[in-house]
Amino acid sequence: MTERIVVKIGSSSLTSDEGGLNRERIQYFTSELASLHKKGNSVMLVTSGAVAAGFRQIGYATKPKIVHEKQAAAAVGQALLMQAYQEAFNSYGIVAAQILLTRADFSNRRRIQNALMTIEELLRLGIIPIINENDTVATDELVPKFGDNDSLSALVAAMTKAAKLVIITDMDGLYTEDPRKNPQAVKIERVDQISEDIMKVAGGAGSSVGTGGMRSKIEAARIAMRGGVHAFIGKVQQEGDLSLAVEGNGRGTYFDTKLNSLPMKKQWLGFHSIPLGRATVDEGAALAMLEGGKSLLPAGVHEVLGEFLPGDVIEVANQKGEIIGRGVVNYAAWQIQAVAGLTTEEVKRRIDVSRIEFIHRDEWISLK
């Protein structure tokens, strides 16, 4: 059966510890991706490595940490990275295309819809989209960067309704502890729910040329699972390893989901939108929204933070402070502050709003 598959490869898998591209590794991964493509699968590659590929070329002794230096290295390195991929894929008769995205692209519904249409057309033509963060313009000042590209790969997988996401790492999956420090650590073969215990076993950052650790990969798996995408985190090192990972026999951990793929509107709301405030709700309202599929009425609102207007997105938290979801509000901040906790009849007497629901269930997504 042919499938739509997103594969994420990090900097440490493509470059040397000293910086610069490792052509042998690029050729190996290209061969693995070409094998999937030749079987009729629609393949998308999310790649890191631009900064690591470029910093030596422009004279930096070590990977830069200052923003403008990283952006300069990425400007040089991205061209080198794409040239290497293009040459490697050409040897298999496959055309590759470059797509550079930022968080701001995902936060804008029109821009991300345009990006999706481009990807869909490339896949229709049998072209492999190669996707990376646009490091030369991305900053953390207004919209956070993807940084490690793990979350970028999960968002791309959800957006394109991929069947599977393969995140390649130097570890053969998730362990109860770091097996490099404790040989008694036990490998976790399958995960169907990412609990706090699962998050606690995730480690810190990775190599000197990469930025992602196991924690960011598990967060990416969580995004994928919520979007109805099955995920794999593990090692792809030998011939045929990528096909084995896709087929369910890979050297890693599988993250299963029973959820269906989300409509683009729900994806944008849950993963891409920028919340402009937060509402804390009482226990009954939280239960009704999470398990009963109900809308949020002013009576269930306990506290509101932030300045927002009707049509804006806010986070919703329970009284423990846990974020349980996001929604589009029908009230301005001052309006809900004036009627929080009141009955529907009392709300109607005090303010004039187009809809009585503070957040309608059709404009809501659970993140629990």
Regarding whether 280 and 349 lie in a shared domain, the answer is: yes
H-helix segments, the chain: 11-14, 23-38, 50-54, 67-90, 103-107, 109-124, 150-159, 196-200, 214-226, 241-247, 264-267, 283-290, 333-339, 344-350
- Residue 142 is predicted with a pLDDT of 42
The rounded Cα 255 to chain-centroid distance in angstroms is 14
Residue 240 has pLDDT above 50, yes or no: yes
Closest-CA residue to 127 (of 118, 135, 114, 116)? 118
Ranking 1-10, 51-60, 89-98, 112-121 by mean pLDDT, the lowest is: 51-60
CA distance 247 to 235: 14
Give the residue-averaged pLDDT of 263-273. Answer: 88
Regarding whether 52 and 26 lie in a shared domain, the answer is: yes
- 51 or 330, greater pLDDT: 330
- Residue 211 annotated as binding? yes
Give the residue-averaged pLDDT of 295-318. Answer: 97
Q: Tell me whether residue 141 is exposed, middle or buried, using C-beta atoms within 10 angstroms of its C-beta: 0 to 12, 13 to 18, 19 or more.
A: exposed
- Residue at 17 is within a domain: yes
Position 64 confidence tier, pLDDT thresholds 50, 70, 90: confident
- Residue 93 annotated as binding? no
- Residue 293 annotated as binding? no
- Residue 169 annotated as binding? yes
Ranking 141-150, 294-303, 312-321 by mean pLDDT, the lowest is: 141-150
- 46 or 170, greater pLDDT: 46
- Residue at 8 is within a domain: yes
- Residue at 270 is within a domain: no
CA distance 47 to 8: 6
- Residue at 81 is within a domain: yes
- Residue 251 annotated as binding? no
- Cα 163 to Cα 135, 220, 263, distances in angstroms: 28, 15, 15
Domain boundary among 215, 238, 265: 265
Regarding whether 94 and 16 lie in a shared domain, the answer is: yes
CA distance 213 to 235: 14
- Residue at 31 is within a domain: yes
Domain boundary among 225, 242, 265: 265
- Residue 170 annotated as binding? yes
Regarding whether 239 and 187 lie in a shared domain, the answer is: yes
Regarding whether 225 and 95 lie in a shared domain, the answer is: yes
Digit-coded pLDDT (tens) for 282-296: 999 999 999 999 999
Position 210 confidence tier, pLDDT thresholds 50, 70, 90: very low
Position 70 confidence tier, pLDDT thresholds 50, 70, 90: confident
Position 314 confidence tier, pLDDT thresholds 50, 70, 90: very high
- Residue 214 annotated as binding? yes
Residue 211 has pLDDT above 60, yes or no: no
Helix (H, G, I), strand (E, B), or coil: what is residue 173?
Answer: coil
Pairing mode of beta strands 301-306, 323-329: unpaired
Residue 304 has pLDDT above 90, yes or no: yes
* CATH at 181: 3.40.1160.10
- Residue 8 annotated as binding? yes
- Residue 48 annotated as binding? yes
Regarding whether 245 and 302 lie in a shared domain, the answer is: no
- Residue 147 is predicted with a pLDDT of 58
Regarding whether 283 and 257 lie in a shared domain, the answer is: no
- Report residue 319 as tokens: 């009284």
Regarding whether 193 and 111 lie in a shared domain, the answer is: yes
* CATH at 316: 2.30.130.10
List the domain range (segments joined by +) for residue 36: 4-265
Regarding whether 228 and 282 lie in a shared domain, the answer is: no
Model pTM?
0.86
- Cα 34 to Cα 8, 163, 287, distances in angstroms: 15, 18, 47
Domain boundary among 231, 265, 299: 265
CA atoms within 13 A on the CB side of 31: 12
- Residue 12 is predicted with a pLDDT of 86
Residue corresponding to tokens 């989209």: 129
- Residue 341 annotated as binding? no
Helix (H, G, I), strand (E, B), or coil: what is residue 128?
Answer: strand
CA distance 289 to 322: 14
Residue 89 has pLDDT above 50, yes or no: yes
- Residue at 173 is within a domain: yes
Regarding whether 29 and 139 lie in a shared domain, the answer is: yes
- Residue 161 annotated as binding? no
CA atoms within 13 A on the CB side of 106: 30
- Report residue 277 as tokens: 């405030």
- Residue at 303 is within a domain: yes
Regarding whether 310 and 202 lie in a shared domain, the answer is: no
Residue 246 has pLDDT above 50, yes or no: yes
What total number of domains does the chain contain? 2
- Residue 2 annotated as binding? no
- Residue at 249 is within a domain: yes
Most confident of the following: 173-182, 253-262, 305-314: 305-314
- Residue 134 annotated as binding? no
Regarding whether 281 and 261 lie in a shared domain, the answer is: no
